[in-house]
Amino acid sequence: MLKVLKNLKNSWTSVIIIVILLCVQAATDLALPDYTSKIVNVGIQYGGIEEAAPEVISEEDMENILFFTDDDEQILENYELVEDEPTEYQEKVKNKYLGKEYNTEENKIYVLKDLEEEQLDSLVSLIAEPLVEYSAVTSEETANQIKERLMQGMQENMTEAQRDVVLEQFTSYVSQMSDSIKEQAAISSVKQVYINLGVDTDKLQNDYILMSGLQMLGIALISMLCAVTIMLLSSRVAAKLGKTLRDKVFKKVLSFSTAELREFSTASLITRSTNDVQQIQQLITLLFRVVVYAPIIGIGGFVKVLTTSDNSMAWIIGVAIFAILVVVATLFAVAMPKFKKLQDLIDKLNQVSREILTGLPVIRAFNKEKKEEKRFDNSNTLLMKANIFVNRAMSMMMPLLMFIMSSITVLIVWVGAHNVDSGTMQVGDMMAFIQYTMQIVMAFLMISMISIMLPRASVSARRINEVIETEPSIKDKEETKQFNPEKKGLVEFKNVSFRYPDADTEILEDINFTAEPGKTTALIGSTGSGKSTVVNLIPRFYDVTEGELLVDGVNVKDVPQKDLRDIIGFVPQKGILFSGTIESNIKYADDNMSDEQMVKAAQIAQAEEFINTKPEKYQDAIAQGGSNVSGGQKQRLSIARAIAKDPEIFIFDDSFSALDFKTDSNLREALAEKTENKTVIIVAQRISTILNADKIIVLEEGKIVGEGTHEELLKNNETYRQIALSQLSEEELNENRKGGK
């Protein structure tokens, strides 16, 4: 998989941007629960008051509060008494709470200094208790109780020391409150202080909620924009990677010799270039979110839980993660073997489909439609069962994980409600905890989802790498040679032997002959004698295993394959045409070829006869594989394509088999004029095709058993004579011989 990911280097700029945006998105997503907590706790519960220390307070209330503490100096050093003209900062604070019309000369106020966070925390710890005590005394119910106790003390002639004891008991009760309850009480006291001063607390609350809500929306908008951009860039990176992989696979396949093409079936190569690459693309689209985003969210959410909220419920997160891992591990163990089989089953289905579609005429001719339907149905059913099994396993995962998430939410509410009731947690903190927990759980869900996709993508990556990393058995040397112009068109076989890879026996053995320019060399022999193998060695479709094969005086292994194939016009045994037009097929060697050259090639190949009957002549469409033309027409167009190339060496691998005798004769006659100074090598089954060849090579079981002209071989070679007599009578042979002369 890592080898495939190395291809992302072409998109490194987009990858860096994606990583940065993922970090930004994670940071914004982690900030949202904190704002939820603030809106609920501060905005709703505390009335928009953030700290348990008033920012403004009347002189009278300050004196009353200081009555309940001995830390007068420490508290007052954090405040400034505004008597005359306030400073810019003081004016700003005053306008925020009291408005511009408030006269500080008539009504003196204390304004909190611009403190650092540590200084503010220290002040809160000093002023919280006296604030709560002052608030309790000033409340109607508490004030009446204290007043009653004080009146009783006065009737009993209570001393000052005794009154101090009563006050000390009251302050002791406040001190014993939990920090959470004490903070809530202190903030409520601050609100009362503001009310005493004439602050519009409703406006203060609305402003806080509105501002926090707008900030929350802004953060959510940033997160949304990041997510959209990330998906766009990820899709682009994935698509570009897919293009790169397909390009590499295709170029590698083009460099394969016939030996490598035998190793990978056509159906498998198509699947690897399409379905396998698609699996990689789907993985890459989500991979960045899992590799970058999920860990940040998971770790960041856990840190937030431990630092910004009550961590007494952190064990719930552990329970959730454990449950998720158990579910995913179980499904992973069950479904993993099927993932490995899926791609092979797709290969098999493609192969069967291709065989059936290609061999449809034969299937119909033998009435084997039912048999082939059954064969296709078997492959299709196996793939369907594998997909159903995997999909069922995966469909169970989401409901199970959603059940876990819902159960965890209920558990958090249950435990959190008790904590809220006991005063150790606030409602907003519980809501934030739920959000952080869901973020952590979703991070693990994302990792779980990618763990499901990863095995299948890994299988696809391995299959793609198998193609990309396969070294062609036929490749150019680092130092190549040039053709010898003095031996132009000369083809020499010197003690050539050949065997297929992993074969036990030689297909060709000790082949020696020369094909000269200006002459026609023919190869004939029974089926399986090695005729096509001999001519496939010349353009290096295979490499000889022993001996030397020279073209233009140079070993074919020492020249670039492109240069070698540039001087060869090869017409394969089976005519192959490409989708397009008749013109594009004839001009396949050179798109800039002149029309005159194209027409001349078609005339020599005897193809103009049927081309002129087409509605659009040379612009008439050719279907994929040439399925809309006959076998003979396909062969003639293949021959015209080779002639139009005008190479030094012509190789016809049984390319006249689909032609009638008249067309065959006319073609050979026209071809003789075109190839007057060219080397022509013909593989043929029909004696009539090679009667006039300058040299005929007779092959039997991979060995040369005869060499000479038609007349010489008829007299001296029994194998050739048997082949000739199997096709023509003695009289016909003599007539053809005379006609040829």
**pLDDT tens-place string over residues 48-65:** 888 888 889 888 888 888
Q: Given a cut of 50, is residue 741 above it in pLDDT?
A: no
pLDDT mean over 526-550: 87
Q: Given a cut of 80, is residue 35 above it in pLDDT?
A: yes
The residue behind tokens 């005379």 is: 738
Give 203's pLDDT tier (boundaries 50, 70, 90): confident
Distance CA 265, CA 350 (A): 10
pLDDT mean over 237-242: 87
Q: What is the pLDDT of residue 291?
A: 76
Q: Given a cut of 80, is residue 722 above it in pLDDT?
A: yes
112 strand-pairing partners? 79
pTM of the predicted model, to two decimals?
A: 0.68
Lowest mean pLDDT among 14-18, 164-168, 445-449, 525-529: 164-168
Burial class (CB in 10 A: 0-12, 13-18, 19+), 100: exposed
The phi and psi torsions of 322 (rounded to 5 degrees) equal -60, -45
Do 682 and 696 contact (CB within 8 A), yes or no? no
Q: What is the pLDDT of residue 145?
A: 47
Distance CA 372, CA 200 (A): 86
Burial class (CB in 10 A: 0-12, 13-18, 19+), 488: middle
pLDDT mean over 337-365: 78
Q: What is the pLDDT of residue 142?
A: 45
Give 151's pLDDT tier (boundaries 50, 70, 90): very low
Q: What is the pLDDT of residue 167?
A: 54
Helix pair angle (631-645, 595-604), 10° resolution: 130
Residues 6 or more apart whose CB falls under 8 angstroms from that of 499 comprise: 505, 506, 507, 545
Q: Which of 395-409, 681-695, 697-711 has the highest mean pLDDT?
A: 697-711
pLDDT tens string 333-346: 777 677 667 767 88
pLDDT tens string 268-284: 788 888 888 888 888 88
- Tell me if residue 103 falls in helix, strand or coil: coil
Q: Which parts of 500-597 are beta strand (E)?
A: 508-515, 520-525, 546-551, 554-555, 568-571, 580-581
Lowest mean pLDDT among 136-140, 291-295, 554-558, 660-664: 136-140
Distance CA 64, CA 49 (A): 21
Q: Given a cut of 90, is residue 219 above it in pLDDT?
A: yes
Domains annotated on the chain, with CATH: 35-209 (no CATH), 478-567+668-741 (3.40.50.300), 568-646 (3.40.50.300)
Amino acid letter, 702: G
Helix pair angle (12-38, 427-469), 10° resolution: 170
Sign of the Cα pseudo-torsion (619, 625, 626, 627, in order)? negative
Q: Given a cut of 90, is residue 323 above it in pLDDT?
A: no
Distance CA 316, CA 409 (A): 10
Sheet holding 508-515, edge to edge: 508-515, 491-498, 546-551, 554-555
* CA atoms lying within 13 Å on the CB side of residue 346: 21
Q: Given a cut of 60, is residue 316 above it in pLDDT?
A: yes
Q: Given a cut of 80, is residue 363 above it in pLDDT?
A: yes
Do 177 and 185 contact (CB within 8 A), yes or no? yes
